Structure formats: structure tokens, C-alpha cells
Amino acid sequence: MVEEAEIPTKPNKYLSFSFVLIFLFLTFNIIFAWFSPDWVDQLGKILIDQNEGPPEEHIKAEDVQPLKSIKNAKVGNIQISSSIRSVKNQVLKHVADKNNKTKLSCWGETRRGDFVMLKYNKPFQSKSISLSVQGPKQFSALLQTSADGIVYSTAKVIKLGSTNIKLKNEKIKGVRIIVTQKFKGKWTLGDINLN
């Protein structure tokens, strides 16, 4: 009886080399993704998504929390409050005094979450809000309205210059302008008019 000899088979060197390369690629990819800094993620968004960041219209009210109110003033039936440190109480009146020559002026550092808020004694119907802001180009804020003076929702992202926001005959008891990013420099806010 003749026994058949077993023929030794050679391992496929290309298969094992490919497996090692794929394994190394996946391992480095996972490690790099795990420990990569934020700037790499932002670069990936710009290169892959062609997206330089979220549009400012998508800033939500819950993204910017108002700071504690430290200044107060009153003009007629309007209670004005603010968290801006460089503002004096008597100057707060300039946002509601119906005088185009007076403006609320802020100097130095303005923090994210700093605000100017107007609260009225009673809610009323409003079709529009107009205001004017001047200052450094980094200025960005949200204009928020409230029907009860407690819960605020964003009506518009404000930039420099004059802004006129049309409302759908909304019930208004409070208006708040809240800064969305920290910056340094002088900026001014004119009268906040509701029609």
C-alpha cells in the first residue's frame, strides 16, 4: 500500500501582508480619531462638508445663558435691567427714553451672556421691533421676545447697524438683547422701539 505524501502548502504572503496593513490602518485611524484635537475635527468639516461652521441664524437661545442682572432702571411703565458691568443705572434709560440723541454705551469687555432687557407692566400686541447697534465687527447678539416676561424665544440674530424686525402682531411683555460671544471694545445701543 502506497501512502500519499502530504504536500506542504505555503501561506499566501500577500494575504497576510494585506491583513497587517489593513489592521494597522484601522488601528491608527481609531487611535487618531479618539485623541484628535478639536481643530482636526473643524478642518475635517471644512474639507469634507465645505462647512466653515454653523450659520449664525442657527444660534439657539439655550446655547447662550443670560448672566445675572446687576443694573436696573425704570422709564414710565418699562423696567430695564442689564448684566453689563460697564453700564451705569442712569444710562440704561437711554434704550427707552425715545430720544435719538442718547444711546446706551458699553466699554471694555462684553461677556457672552451679557444682556439688556426691557419688561413692560402689561403685555401688548406688537407688529415690529426696531433698534440700532454700533460697535466692533465681532458684535453678535440675539433679539428675544417674551409674552409673559419669563420665557424668552429668539426672534432674530442681530448684527451691527439698524434692525427692523417684523412680528406677526405678537403679544409682548419683555424684550431682551443677549450677546452671543465675548469681545472687547466700545459698542452702543439706541432706542428699542416696539410698534
Q: What is the pLDDT of residues 161-192, one digit of tens each?
A: 988 989 888 999 999 999 999 999 999 999 99
pLDDT beyond 90 at 126: yes
Residue 6 lies in a domain: no
Please state the rounded mean pLDDT for residues 49-76. Answer: 68
Which of these ranges, 61-65, 77-81, 99-103, 110-114, has the smallest mean pLDDT?
Answer: 61-65
- Residue 41 has a pLDDT of 60
Mean pLDDT value across the chain: 82
Among residues 5, 23, 49, the one where a domain terminates is: 49
In this prediction, residue 50 carries a pLDDT of 45
Same domain, 21 and 83: no
Kindly state the percentage of the chain with pLDDT values over 90: 51
Query: Could you tell me if 167 and 77 lie in one domain?
Result: yes
Indicate whether 103 pLDDT > 90.
yes
Q: Supply 187's cell numbers.
A: 459698542
Q: How far apart are CA 117 and CA 192, in angstroms?
A: 10
Number of domains in the chain: 2
Question: 3-state DSSP call for residue 62?
Answer: helix
Residue 14 has a pLDDT of: 55
38: cell is 478639536
Q: What is the pLDDT of residue 56?
A: 45
Do residue 90 and residue 44 come from a single domain? no
DSSP state letters, 78-104: EEEEE--TT--HHHHGGGTS--TT--E
Q: Are residues 38 and 113 in the same domain?
A: no
Q: Are residues 21 and 105 in the same domain?
A: no
Look-up: residue for cell 416676561? 149
Per-residue pLDDT for 27 more than 80? yes
CATH of the domain at 165: 2.60.120.260
> Is residue 7 situated within a structural domain?
no
Q: How far apart are CA 26 and CA 91, in angstroms?
A: 61
Residues 149 and 125 in one domain: yes
Q: Does 38 share its domain with 98?
A: no
Assessment of whether the complete model's pTM goes beyond 0.75: no
Q: Which domain holds residue 33?
A: 13-49
Residue 46 has what pLDDT?
A: 56
